[in-house]
Amino acid sequence: MVSQREVLTGKHLMQGDVACAEGAIAAGCKFFAGYPITPATEIAERMARRMIEVNGMFVQMEDELASMAAIIGASWAGAKAMTATSGPGFSLMQENIGLAVMTETPCVVVNVMRGAPSTGQPTEGAQQDVMQSKWGSHGDYSIIALAPASVQEMFDLTIECFNLAETYRAPTFLLADGFTGHLWERVVIPSPEEIKIVERKKPVVSPDKYMPFKPDEDLVPPMACFGEGYCVHVTGLTHDELGYPKTTDPKVQHKLVNRLCEKMRKNANRIVRTYESMLEDAEVAVIAYGIPSRASLNAVKKARESGIKAGLLRLVTVWPFPEKQIEELATRVNAIVVPEMNCGQIVREVERVAKETPVHLLSKIGGELHSPSEIFEAIRRAAGI
Amino acid sequence: MTVIQEFEKHPLAKYLRAERFPHIWCEGCGDGIILHCFVKALDDLAVDIDKFVVVSGIGCIGRAAGYVKCDSFHTTHGRPIALATGIKLANPKLTVAVLSGDGDLFAIGGNHFIHAARRNVDLTVICSNNFNYGMTGGQSGPTTPLDSYTTTTPYGNIEHPFNLVHLAAAAGSVYVARWTVLHVRRLAESIKKALRKKGFKFIEVISPCPEIYGRRNKLGKAIDIMKLYRQISEIRHGYDPAKAEITREKIVVGEFIDIEKPTYGELLQKQFIKIQQKLSEG
Ligand SMILES: Cc1ncc(C[n+]2csc(CCOP(=O)(O)OP(=O)(O)O)c2C)c(N)n1
Ligand code: SF4
Ligand SMILES: [Mg+2]
């Protein structure tokens, strides 16, 4: 039973980071480990206050290497677990993000992105870690990443991150940005009954028959946690379905790593979520994610007012990349505009999928948001007007 | 009789994953003895093995996690204590032990060690100190003695080594002991004591790596190293860990620290009760 303390049902004026923490608690998060960093610190601070109220566990670790390791441990001990950070900490987490991928550990990592590289611009929002979130740890693998565009979505999508992490047994990222993290907006928190919560799949066989890394049809193995009597061995080494290291057998590596990648590809239809606005007859499509989608929607409306058939595809799911949606869209429009707060990251994926359709990047870095008129101008240029 | 049937005749076999043997360790390696003392302690204490978790890092001794028959995690290099912290704090009903190497726990993982000790997280940490990086072929590490030869100190080591028991005590461990693998009975007793005690407990085990460190430093065969341990080790319980030296002439072993201090979990529980009371009062 979810208590009233876990879900603060009602209307609130809330900061993005705080809404994220509340989303985690509503999703059933019972373990948070983190290390302070702007602009994500408020998530840790909120968790420090709130976890103890909801019978959860907050711990401030010595660094982000440890934070990531701790949430993996907590997840195997049976808790829904999360950490939150920004670029410099996200870089440190990459090592154990790889471990979470390899050991198929459900966990949520929030990255409130700020200007980078290195220490960069601590107080300025950015979207510069989009490719890092996909490829940041060594090796081939797949993860899930969602991009919120409002404080409401800091709440909603954090819940969704937990549900996806538990369903697909993978580290799942909330790719927020410093603007959204620090924004104050109205948030509506539903009643517990209205919130969909997913729990991880448990084994249905007895411990002697259980193979900890043998997947079901959906490519996801049921997960027995520590202390449940299943005697599970977990390793970051290449392992067979029993979980035992098999580091020199090409077939074992092939099977495991391909499954880790396939897991998201096969389930992409169920994972990917996009929003379409005014795309039915559009000639120019704006493809945006996160906070620039807000200015994009205004720009598209403005374009319509001035007679340009423009529309918006907003990516709620950034990874796995919504290939099908964009491939199909590209066949219907004459041009695509991609506004993003980096030097061009998702645009590369859009170009790859859009094939012949011209794709225009509208890059913005430094700590300023795209203005609707800038995006409108880009739409106009793309429309050849 | 199959190898597994043979294996299962051993009185401690129920604590080991028969199908994972033979182990990877070299002949004469001390890690097997450490594992033996460890499972002996589990047996003597009749621990609830379903609630027991072993966590290791990367290295020769790191493979121990894959041999014990209980829930176990073979983590990334240097991170076992951080990961074990997550396990223990998320489910305090579990007993968590960390078995790892000198490089893993004190070079790449040194920061996690001192902070877990400072927090007094309820963990038992056992370090196989073989004075080098065995797994990667014998490079120098944080415990390599001055003037020793390793592949990365081909002209002799010019770095001062850590005194692990001093470090552990200074960082806040409630129980600190050092043994060599010659002291099997005392080591097993020490592990039992640590497992029964609450808080951050640390046991350093001086362990021969005859194949690599031993060979390069002309220490002879495993049996010669064991003889050396017998000759030069000196048991001094309650000795100041700062002075508990390891030299070519002397290895001071014994129980150095055994104190009581509230654990992270206990302090948290106190806070929890207070907060819950406040909340219920509105
Ligand atoms: C991040 C990282 N760096 C380096 C390595 C390579 N590596 C594996 S084991 C090891 C040293 C292990 O030494 P120690 O902890 O003393 O264990 P031993 O093998 O001596 O038992 C190193 C450097 C690694 N696995 N991961
Ligand atoms: S290399 Fe050294 S530490 Fe590793 S198994 Fe061989 S003897 Fe043991
Ligand atoms: Mg070593």
Nearest CA to ligand 2 atom 8: B29
- Nearest residue of chain A to residue B20 (CA atoms): A244
**Which residues are placed with Cβ below 5 angstroms of ligand 3, an ion?**
B 101-102, 130
Nearest of A85, A170, A179 to residue A127 by alpha carbon: A179
Around Cβ B110, how many Cβ atoms within 10 Å? 18
| Domains along chain A with CATH numbers | 10-194 (3.40.50.970), 207-271 (no CATH), 274-382 (3.40.50.920)
Angle, CA of B117, B120 and B125, to the nearest 5° = 55
CA of B153 to the centre of ligand 3 (A): 15
Ligand 2 neighbourhood includes B26 CB (under 6 angstroms): yes
Angle between helices B164-171 and B110-119 (to 10 degrees): 40
Provide the H-helix boundaries in chain B. 3-7, 31-45, 80-90, 102-103, 110-119, 164-171, 184-196, 215-216, 222-232, 264-280
* pLDDT digits 0-9 by tens, A139-185: 999 999 999 999 999 999 999 999 999 999 999 999 999 999 999 99
Q: Is the ipTM of this complex over 0.85?
A: yes
Give the whole-number percent of chain A exceeding pLDDT 90.
98
Separation in Å, CA of A74 to nearest CA in chain B: 4
Residues whose CB falls within 8 Å of the CB of residue A225, separated by 6 or more in sequence, listed in order: A75, A76, A77, A78, A232
Give the nearest ligand 1 atom to B105 CA: 15
Which protein residues touch ligand 1 with a CB less than 6 Å away?
B 58-61, 77, 101-104, 128, 130, 133-136, 141
Q: List the domain boundaries for chain B.
A: 3-280
CA of A9 to the centre of ligand 2 (A): 58
pLDDT at A124 over 80: yes
A62–B112 C-beta distance less than 8 A: yes
A30–B66 C-beta distance less than 8 A: no
From the CA of B131, which ligand is nearest? 3
A61–B82 C-beta distance less than 8 A: yes
Q: Which amino acid, A90?
A: F
* pLDDT digits 0-9 by tens, A65-116: 999 999 999 999 999 999 999 999 999 999 999 999 999 999 999 999 999 9
Nearest of A146, A151, A155, A147 to residue A181 by alpha carbon: A151
CA of B74 to the centre of ligand 3 (A): 16
Give the nearest ligand 1 atom to B101 CA: 15
Q: How many CA atoms lie within 13 A of A366 on its CB side?
A: 4
Mutate to test the interface with B, among A67, A226, A242 (most CBs of B within 10 A): A226
Give the whole-number percent of chain B exceeding pLDDT 90.
96
pLDDT at B6 over 90: no
* pLDDT digits 0-9 by tens, B117-161: 999 999 999 999 999 999 999 999 999 999 999 999 999 999 999
Q: Identify the band that residue B8 occupies on the pLDDT scale cut at 50, 70 and 90.
A: confident
A232–B74 C-beta distance less than 8 A: no
Sign of CA dihedral B85, B89, B92, B94: negative
Nearest of A81, A302, A79 to residue A171 by alpha carbon: A81
CATH of B3-280, one of 3.40.50.970, 2.60.120.200, 1.10.150.120, 3.40.50.300: 3.40.50.970
Q: Quick check: A56 and A83 in contact, CB under 8 A? A: no
CA of B135 to the centre of ligand 2 (A): 7
- pLDDT (mean) for B225-233: 98
Distance between CA atoms of B237 and A34, rounded to whole angstroms? 39
Q: Quick check: A125 and A181 in contact, CB under 8 A? A: yes
Q: What is the pTM (predicted TM-score) of this model?
A: 0.98
The secondary structure of residue B131, as a DSSP letter, is: S
A226–B87 C-beta distance less than 8 A: yes
Separation in Å, CA of A234 to nearest CA in chain B: 5
Q: Identify the band that residue A2 occupies on the pLDDT scale cut at 50, 70 and 90.
A: low
